[in-house]
Amino acid sequence: MGKLQRIGVLTGGGDCPGLNAVIRAVTKTAIFQHGLEVYGIFDGFLGLIENRMQPLTWQSVSNILTQGGTILGTSNKANPERFMTGKDASGEPIFSDVTEKVVNNVRSNKLDAIVVIGGDGTMSCAHQIIRRGIPCIGVPKTIDNDLMYCDVTFGFFTAVQTACDALDRIHTTASSHQRIMLVETMGRNAGWLALHAGMAGGADIILLPEIPFDIQLISRFCQDRFKSGKKFTIITVSEGAKPIGGQVVVDRIVKDSFEAIRLGGISNQLALQIESQTGIECRSTILGHVQRGGSPIAFDRILATQYGHKAIELLAKEQFNQLVIYRNGQIDTVPIAEVANRQRLVSLDHPLLLSAEDIGVCLGKP
């Protein structure tokens, strides 16, 4: 396709600490090391659909390393293959495939390739335009840490720290009031965030989507702690956790979104059930979007910078359509096609799960 001259960069899906660090690394590496023009695409794939972008300079990305969010904006509703273009007479959304419009906008702006920063949904969208001939490099972003083949996505450990800080504070009020306290984390169908936060925050019970729980077992565990002199219990529960033979708790349906089903509220239900079965006062706290916000911790700033730098190095070598990943302690790559529409879950033999069980943490299973 000839020598690269101009590239685009976008951030898709939910926001996440470290996005600006990637944008900064991508832009500065592209300009300083390879003399490329860099265009920032606004609001993820929505910017490609609506043709909204502008040049980025090294000055425009200076001093954004520590900022949360993304200076480019993002969207989790702009799937080019299924984009809402209106509503029918009954108010239901009408979806259309606008991928060709995206391709035309990329070509009319003379973008030679695009750096796509996002999670599994965003990589699925990238895979669509790759098949239409648009070269892409993916950078793994999600606090859920659920991208295939990637041990750590940037933003994950900042979210873990945020949840851990909340658990530390919950501990003091649980102890003071002799309560069972539940803290609900994000994560969708993957339990990485709840598992790491629960372990770091000293949770007594950790409930994950990968391990359906027994509510009676949980209640007995809480009662046994109370009888043994431990007058409070801390439960970390992932939003995607569900009882044995039961279903996840759906907070709402967003019909025009790439991920229409929004989970949330399992901790409220559990609090009512456990209090009813144990007679011990229960309270629940849903952390929600506080886990997505704020400045990235040092680890995520460094990881995001490494990811952004590697993305440009791949483009410069014309090693297109790869996702930059962190695997076995080093920066690596995998084809975007291999991660599209897939999700990395906590394996039942994961060492952290085994550690949790060995120190007496209840995982809700017999």
pLDDT of res. 1: 47
- Active-site residues, by number, are 144
Instruction: Record the tokens describing residue 206, joined without a space.
Output: 């950790």
Q: State pTM to two decimals.
A: 0.93
Q: What is the domain partition of the chain in residue ranges?
A: 6-154+296-338, 157-289
In sequence order, which residues have a C-beta less than 8 Å from that of residue 13 and are 6 or more positions away? 44, 74, 76, 118, 119, 121, 122, 141, 142, 258
Residues 331-335: what's their mean pLDDT? 97
Judged by phi (left if over 0) then psi (alpha if -120 to 50, else beta), residue 332 lies in beta
Q: Which backbone phi and psi does 356 adopt, to 5 degrees? A: -60, -50
Higher pLDDT, 95 or 166: 166
∠ at Cα 14 (10, 20), nearest 5°? 50
Contact call for residues 312 and 61 (beta carbons, < 8 A): no
Q: State yes or no: pLDDT of 260 exceeds 70.
A: no
Using the 8-state DSSP alphabet, how is residue 219 labeled?
Answer: H
Instruction: Record the tokens describing residue 260, joined without a space.
Output: 């229409």
Contact call for residues 282 and 275 (beta carbons, < 8 A): yes
User: Does 157-289 match 6-154+296-338 at the fold level?
Assistant: yes
Q: Work out the burial of residue 313: count CB atoms within 10 Å of its CB; fewer than 13 is exposed, 13-18 middle, 19 or more buried.
A: middle
Which of these CATH numbers, 1.10.10.10, 3.40.50.450, 3.40.640.10, 4.10.320.10, describes 6-154+296-338? 3.40.50.450
| pLDDT band at residue 253 under the 50/70/90 scheme | confident
Which architecture characterizes domain 157-289 according to CATH?
3-Layer(aba) Sandwich (3.40)
* Cα–Cα dist 214/229, whole Å: 23
* Cα–Cα dist 179/111, whole Å: 57
* Cα–Cα dist 119/214, whole Å: 31
Residues 122-146: what's their mean pLDDT? 94
Q: Which amino acid is at 168?
A: D
β 37-41/6-11 pair status: parallel
C-alpha distances (whole Å) from 227 to each of 76, 222, 224, 272 are 47, 9, 5, 21
Give the range among 21-25, 81-85, 256-260 with minimum mean pLDDT: 256-260
pLDDT of res. 210: 97
